[in-house]
Structure 1
Amino acid sequence: MNILLISIGTRGDMEPFLAIGQSMKEKGHAVTCLFPEQFRNLVEESGFAFESLGSAFMKMLESDLGKFALGGGGSQFKKIGAFIKLAKIQRENNKAMVQKQFDTIARIKPDRVIHNGKALYPVIWELEHPGKTIYISPVPYLHYVKGHTHTAFHSNYGEFLNKLTYKLADWGTTKAIMDVVKQLGIAGVSKKQIKNAMQRHKIFYTVSPQLFKRPEYWSNNMKVLGYHERNKTTNWQPDASLLAFLEQHTKIIFISFGSMTNPKPVEKTAIILDILKRNNIPAILNTSSGGLVSPSTYDTDLFHFVSHIPYDWIFKRMYAVIHHGGSGTTHMGLKNGCASLIIPHVIDQFVWNEIIHEKGLGPKGIKINKISTKNLEPLILDVYNNKNYRENALLVAEEMAKEYILNDELYNRLIE
């Protein structure tokens, strides 16, 4: 079959789709990825055809305004103002990306479209092609779960207000899709049809049931398939300095903020290095997107900086992981039995922070814009010295190793 994968977001939003693409390619299907331009090389290196959503979305996130909204300091009032400004910019970006979704689907005529929640046009396409789209979510709580708000609210306000958060999210999505209908000039599509399509289409959560179990009251079109990760070490080899550092230490922390940025990376890095230095804790720090930076001088015996490294290679050699709380990083750390400390930046990362803490896999972390030596040091010492976190993570890793559901389940649902 001709399969189109559509994902809008950061690197963490692309990875679940690349893993799915790898599975589908191995089954003999033709795979095309419609991603932001910044991920062209990632897609092509994976052996898939690439279609571009343009570069504006990622440029917005990487702008000073984006950095402030997603991980900066300042008051909550100022952050809300930044989000409002970003929303105005994103409205124009969305129009361009919607047109690209429409044009690409019309041109390549896919047999199936697999997409995330930020890709809106496939819901409309589902109306004329029922059963041909699959909604993929790597984060929990986008559909009603008792005792939880929608993931955007990451809280528990009681059942009435909890349900209201899901209704608000559905209302916002429906409105956004109806705006797409208007933009594209599609006649004869109603809100009721869109709501029905959103409820009816296949919805797959690529989340480990060790962290989020499927509610029994969900409809049959909604599945929790388990975590699936592609092999990323094919074209990568460690350098001699990294291997020497690993040989020198037996209990290392890996620190990364993934695709997240912030306006004060030098300050954040200095705080972390100071804590680690005073407590003689060896660490490997990942500077990939600029959330952390390598200083001009540092203790090379205690610290090692990298700008690109496959997590599936390095995590199995780590004791603990300190990270932003992206879905992929959270799962990968646990899959390799690492204790975890999350420093959340935005949205679902606060949910993963709660889950990690509730399941005894690490201490409850603090927001990126709240970290200081005083409040971060006890958390780092806790994740490094509390053996229970590591032991619990190893137990979770054993169960996650059994999760091979996605390959066969997704394949079977695709060919229905």
Structure 2
Amino acid sequence: MRVLLSTYGSRGDVEPMAALAVQLRASGAEALVCAPPDAEFARLLDGAGVPMAAVGAAVRPLVTGAVPPPAGDLSQQAAAMIAEHYARITAAAAGCDAIVATGMFPAAAAARSAADKLGIRYHHVSLQPTLLPSLHHPPPERPGRPLPPEVVDNRALWEHDAESMHALFGKAFNDHRASAGLSTVESIRDHVLTDRPWLATDPVLSPWPPTDHEVVQTGAWILPDARPLPEDLEAFLDNGTAPVYIGFGSIPVRPASTAARVAIGAARAQGRRVILAGGWADLALIDDRDDCIAVGEVNQQALFRRVAAVVHHGGAGTTFAAARAGAAQVLVPQIVDQPYWARRVADLGIGAAHEGPGVTVRSLSASLATALTPQIRYAAAEVAGTIRSDGAAVAAKQLLEAAPVRGCGSEGPESIDRSSTTP
């Protein structure tokens, strides 16, 4: 069996696909990952022994503002992304039995059309629950399409969301499908998500409640990391009390100098040493005191077991890594699903959710003081024992056990619709 895994986004979108690819390859299947051409993603996949097909523009320069944004309005940008990703994915998926897609919506839409064109199975996976329709939570705000304030029923709000997504991306998607000899669709969101999407999150950290929208929850897709910690970091850990890790991943918090000063000041206010991760914000130390050390990309799975707390942006991967390590957390949510993870950490009692994205030394110090209480640290250790790490293996097993459905290179609507909902 051969599977193409398609994603476009930050490391939090790429690493789970690498984890699934590793599990598939360990089971004797072939797996290829379509991902952005950032050097760090190429290193990640190469280190995991997973072949990569680069697609689209590098993401980090776009996110950090190092290069100008794509030309045109949202519809024009979506049309360009769909066309480019469709061409690359269709070529890379030749001979594949299935495509699994996540990441930015236009890229996932292109993957869906590629699967339709090739007549192979398609699965959409969400790495967090807030983008999947549910009676238990409202949809996110879409660009230029605010949720109607007078509507409180989630079912009606998700119907509004489907209309919004089609208004934003439907024309670009259907125009491209028509040019590729594929039938048009009435709801791009539902066609791309399918009526049985996968949810790659841990059921303790992110329970999916009973709903009339069927979702297959596999557990989180985690790439094992056996790398040793750098020697200077090991020496720092051994030479004093447990430090606080501070890092904001792919969020380019600005200005970086102020963010670093506030974060380090908050930890020092609690009498804690600091491990400062540069991340995409390029955070740097603010002085030469020996109570702080700066690190680049390191093995969080090993490091988080040895810190007093983890202060971060609330990305799904970092939240899971800290929870699995039993580390207390402080989440400073910025965008998309990060407020959801902040609420979950607070509800589970394994950390503190900072109020809003902006921080001061006083506000962050107060959140850190909460996270460092014995009750929080005890709860974090307890919850760590309940966290699963087999999500990628579960997903790989479902893919391998499903009978391959191969078309003749053109769309077969009935077989495509059935195959897209069968894990």
Tell me if both proteins adopt one fold, taking TM over 0.5 as the criterion: yes
Q: Report the alpha carbon displacement of residue 187 of structure 1 after superposing the two structures with TM.
A: 4.3
Q: Report the alpha carbon displacement of residue 266 of structure 1 after superposing the two structures with TM.
A: 0.3
Q: Which residue of 2 aligns with 1:334?
A: 323
Compared CA separation, residues 17 and 98, structure 1 to 2 (3 A): same
Whose relative contact order is higher, 1 or 2, with alpha carbons under 8 Å and at least 6 apart? Answer: 2
Name the aligned partner's letter for residue 231 of structure 1. P
Equivalences for residues 354-369 of structure 1 within 5 A: 354-368=343-357
Compared CA separation, residues 183 and 409, structure 1 to 2 (3 A): closer
Q: Report the alpha carbon displacement of residue 280 of structure 1 after superposing the two structures with TM.
A: 1.8
Distance in 1 (CA, whole Å) between partners of 2:59 and 2:185 is 27
CA contact (8 A) 2:170 2:187 kept: no
CA contact (8 A) 2:19 2:222 kept: yes
Q: Which residue of 1 aligns with 2:364?
A: 376
Please say which of residues 110-119 and 330-339 is displaced more in the overlay: 110-119
Q: Which residue of 2 aligns with 1:70?
A: none
Distance in 2 (CA, whole Å) between partners of 1:13 and 1:396 is 25
**Is 1:399 the equivalent of 2:386?**
yes
Q: Report the alpha carbon displacement of residue 339 of structure 1 after superposing the two structures with TM.
A: 0.9
**Is 1:226 the equivalent of 2:223?**
no
**Is 1:408 the equivalent of 2:412?**
no
Compared CA separation, residues 362 and 199, structure 1 to 2 (3 A): closer
Q: Report the alpha carbon displacement of residue 289 of structure 1 after superposing the two structures with TM.
A: 1.8
Compared CA separation, residues 216 and 130, structure 1 to 2 (3 A): farther
Q: Report the alpha carbon displacement of residue 278 of structure 1 after superposing the two structures with TM.
A: 3.6
Q: Report the alpha carbon displacement of residue 160 of structure 1 after superposing the two structures with TM.
A: 3.3
> Residue 211 of structure 2 is aligned with which of 214, 217, 222?
217
Compared CA separation, residues 198 and 33, structure 1 to 2 (3 A): closer
> Residue 280 of structure 1 is aligned with which of 271, 275, 278?
271
Distance in 1 (CA, whole Å) between partners of 2:70 and 2:344 is 29
Name the aligned partner's letter for residue 180 of structure 1. F
Q: Which residue of 2 aligns with 1:166?
A: 158
Secondary structure of the corresponding residue to residue 130 of structure 2: coil
Distance in 1 (CA, whole Å) between partners of 2:86 and 2:4 is 12
Distance in 1 (CA, whole Å) between partners of 2:116 and 2:247 is 41
Compared CA separation, residues 366 and 190, structure 1 to 2 (3 A): same
Q: Which residue of 2 aligns with 1:77?
A: none
Q: Report the alpha carbon displacement of residue 350 of structure 1 after superposing the two structures with TM.
A: 1.0
> Residue 44 of structure 2 is aligned with which of 42, 46, 52?
42
Compared CA separation, residues 346 and 31, structure 1 to 2 (3 A): same
Q: Which residue of 2 aligns with 1:186?
A: 180
**Is 1:146 the equivalent of 2:135?**
yes
Secondary structure of the corresponding residue to residue 234 of structure 2: helix
TM-score (norm 1): 0.84
Q: Which residue of 2 aligns with 1:252?
A: 243
Kindly, what percent of the aligned residue pairs are identical? Answer: 19
Distance in 2 (CA, whole Å) between partners of 1:348 and 1:380 is 21
Structure 2 unaligned blocks of 5 or more:
403-423
Instruction: Render the CA deviation track for 1:135-177: whole Å, top value 9, x for unaligned.
Output: 1111112223334212558x9x898343344233323433415
RMSD: 2.9
Equivalences for residues 22-171 of structure 1 within 5 A: 22-38=22-38, 39-55=41-57, 57-63=59-65, 88=72, 91-108=75-92, 109=94, 110-118=96-104, 119-127=108-116, 132-152=121-141, 160-171=152-163
Compared CA separation, residues 260 and 19, structure 1 to 2 (3 A): same
Moved over 6 A (4+): none
Name the aligned partner's letter for residue 313 of structure 2. H
